Amino acid sequence: MPAKITISKLRKMKQNGDKIVMLTAYDASFAQVLDQQLVDVILVGDSLGMVMQGHESTVPVTMDDMVYHTKMVSPACHHSLILGDLPFMSYTSTMDAIKNASRLMQEGGAHMVKLEGGESQIENVTQLSRHGVPVCAHLGLQPQSVHKLGGYFVQGRDQKTADKMLDDALVLQDAGADMVLLECVPVTLADKITQALDVPTIGIGAGRVCDGQVLVLQDMLGISTKAPSFSQDFLTGQTGGIAGAVAAYIEGVKSQTFPSDEQCFF
C-alpha cells in the first residue's frame, strides 16, 4: 500500500495538479473499503446526522457522536488521512475549539479537524494551528447555519459575497488553515479562490476547478433519499459493487470527468 497521506502530501498534490479524492465514512466497514481503494482523505462528517441518524440537518449532531464515529473509522485507515468535523456549537470559544479538537484527535484518531465559518473563525484557526492541530476551513454553504440561511442555497453569486468569501479564504489561510472546503459555490469563484490559495481547496458543488472533490458516501452510492444535484450515483450499473463504485468515483475525480458541467453552478 502507498505511504500514508499527510498534510504535506496534500500540498504537494495541489502543486503537481494531482486531484485530491475525499469521501465520507462513518464506520469501520466502509472506511476499510475506502482506504483499500486509496481514497486520499476520509471525512467523518457531521452529515452523519442526516444519512445515519435520519435528521433533517446536521444541527442535532453532538460532540460525542463525532468522537464515536471517528473512533469507528480510524482503526480501518492505513493510507487515508482522517478529517473530523467539529459539530454545531462545539467551537463557540477558542477553549471549546481546542478541547473538542483534542477529543477528535486523541479519542477519535482524526488527523485534521474541520470547522465552518469565515473571518469569525480566525482566532480559533490561529490557536488550533499554534497547538499543532491541522485545520480545514469550510466556506460557502455552511450546513450548520441552515436555519439562519433559511435553506440550502448556492453562496457567492453576487460580487459582494464573492469578494467576502475570497477574503475569508485568504485570512483563514494566513491564520493557519491547511485546507479549505468550498460548498455550493459558483465555478468562477471557486476557481478564483483555488488560484489565490497555497493550500488545497476541496469542492462539493463547486466545480472541478478545485484541487479535489468530496461527496457524502451515501450520495455517491445512490442510496440517499435526498441526493443533491451536484452528486452522482457511481454504484448503479457498476459490476464491481461498492469497491468498484469507489474506484469509479476516484477515476472520475482524477480524470476531471466528475463533476460534469451539469453538476456545477455558474
Catalytic residue positions? 183
What span, in angstroms and rounded, lies between the C-alpha atoms of 157 and 141?
A: 12
User: Can you tell me the distance from the alpha carbon of 15 to that of 164, in angstroms, rounded to the nearest whole number?
Assistant: 25
The contacts of residue 265 (CB under 8 Å, 6+ apart) are: 154, 184, 185, 186, 187, 205, 206, 207, 230
Distances (CA, A) of 84 to 24, 111, 131, 167: 10, 8, 17, 25
For the chain, the residue count is 266
Contact (Cβ atoms closer than 8 angstroms) between residue 60 and residue 49: yes
Q: What does the alpha-carbon distance between residue 47 and residue 50 come to, in Å, rounded to a whole number?
A: 6
* Nine-digit cell string for 95: 477553549
